């Protein structure tokens, strides 16, 4: 590679890095400023007042609500998608039925979320399930379950058929085959599916803002949105809240990065 091409590559990488890191820098910079200083690119005075106000305002409760909702949503999604994907990919089910179910789940992802939330809201209101974090985790399955089903389906289809046939020769039934053979083989795929499900439910806003009413049940996206009001925008607290809420997902994704790469290599 010629020196000119190397220089152009480095310049392009530098531009991409600046473009990617600038929002993070802006968020950190604004979170350490108060008052009109948030509009300054550089400031000599930095303060932690925004972070202090956040945790004095019970921000840790909103973080725990978000974590609980993400964990419960992911657990339900995996508990439903794993046996469903296993049945559709490994058991002798009618091909027409299997394709119909898969097309329906894929079609549900193309429907605008605001269309689906209306019947869900009416149903939850009649069942007195609104303003309930556990019930909202069920509503989140509109997002996560079709995605998890298609992801797990691809991972189950990629497992070696020879291993399954050897297990059947040894007398393994469908349940034993799933638990003792296929689940260990698809564990990287399960990890990848869980990661993306957690990320989707961690940042979800539309369903939460419609189904959750009490301040004590608010998630982080809702409390961040509440900093925008008719009296102004609390830029400092918004940036601090966004930074704090991003850290758990950044640390979590960094920790399981190896599983993400391994999971996609297994497909």
If we measure between CA atoms, which residue out of 220, 240, 237, 264 comes closest to residue 66?
220
Q: Are 76 and 68 in contact (CB under 8 A)?
A: no
Q: Residue 58 — left, alpha, or beta (φ > 0 → left; ψ -120 to 50 → alpha)?
A: left
Q: How high is the pLDDT of residue 261?
A: 60
pLDDT of residue 171: 78
Per-residue pLDDT of the chain (267 residues; tens, 9 = 90+): 677 788 888 888 889 988 988 888 888 888 888 777 777 766 667 788 888 888 888 888 999 999 999 999 999 999 999 998 888 888 777 777 777 777 888 787 788 888 888 889 999 989 888 889 999 999 999 888 888 988 888 888 888 888 877 877 777 777 888 888 888 888 888 888 888 899 889 989 989 999 998 888 999 999 998 888 878 788 888 889 989 988 888 887 777 766 666 555 555
**What are the structural domains of the chain?**
57-266 (1.10.3720.10)
Which whole-number Å values give the CA distances from 115 to 1, 44, 120, 207, 213, in the listed order? 53, 49, 9, 11, 20
pLDDT at 264: 55
pTM of the model: 0.83
Distance CA 62, CA 240 (A): 14
The secondary element (H helix, E strand) that includes residue 70 is helix 59-90
Q: What is the pLDDT of residue 66?
A: 93
- Return the pLDDT at 220: 92
Among 105, 153, 130, which Cα is nearest to 209's?
130
């Amino acid at each position: 590679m010629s020196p000119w091409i190397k220089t152009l590559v480095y310049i392009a990488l530098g531009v991409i890095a600046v473009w990617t890191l600038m929002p993070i820098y802006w968020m950190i910079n604004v979170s350490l400023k108060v008052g009109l200083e948030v509009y300054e690119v550089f400031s000599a005075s930095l303060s932690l007042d925004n972070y202090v106000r956040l945790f004095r305002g019970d921000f840790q409760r909103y973080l725990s609500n978000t974590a609980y909702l993400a964990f419960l949503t992911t657990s339900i999604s995996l508990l439903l998608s794993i046996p469903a994907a296993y049945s559709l990919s490994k058991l002798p089910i009618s091909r027409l039925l299997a394709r119909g179910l898969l097309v329906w789940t894929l079609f549900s992802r193309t429907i605008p979320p605001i269309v689906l939330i209306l019947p869900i809201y009416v149903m939850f209101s009649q069942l007195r399930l609104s303003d309930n974090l556990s019930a909202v985790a069920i509503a989140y399955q509109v997002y996560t379950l079709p995605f998890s089903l298609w992801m797990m389906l691809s991972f189950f289809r990629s497992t070696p058929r020879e291993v399954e046939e050897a297990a059947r020769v040894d007398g393994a039934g469908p349940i034993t085959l799933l638990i003792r053979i296929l689940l260990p083989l698809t564990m990287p795929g399960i990890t990848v599916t869980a990661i993306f499900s957690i990320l989707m439910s961690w940042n979800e806003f539309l369903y939460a803002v419609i189904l959750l009413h009490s301040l004590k049940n608010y998630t982080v996206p809702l409390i961040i949105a509440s900093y925008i009001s008719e009296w102004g925008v609390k830029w400092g607290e918004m940036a601090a809240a966004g930074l704090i809420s991003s850290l758990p997902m950044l640390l979590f994704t960094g920790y399981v990065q190896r599983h993400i790469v391994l999971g996609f290599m297994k497909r």
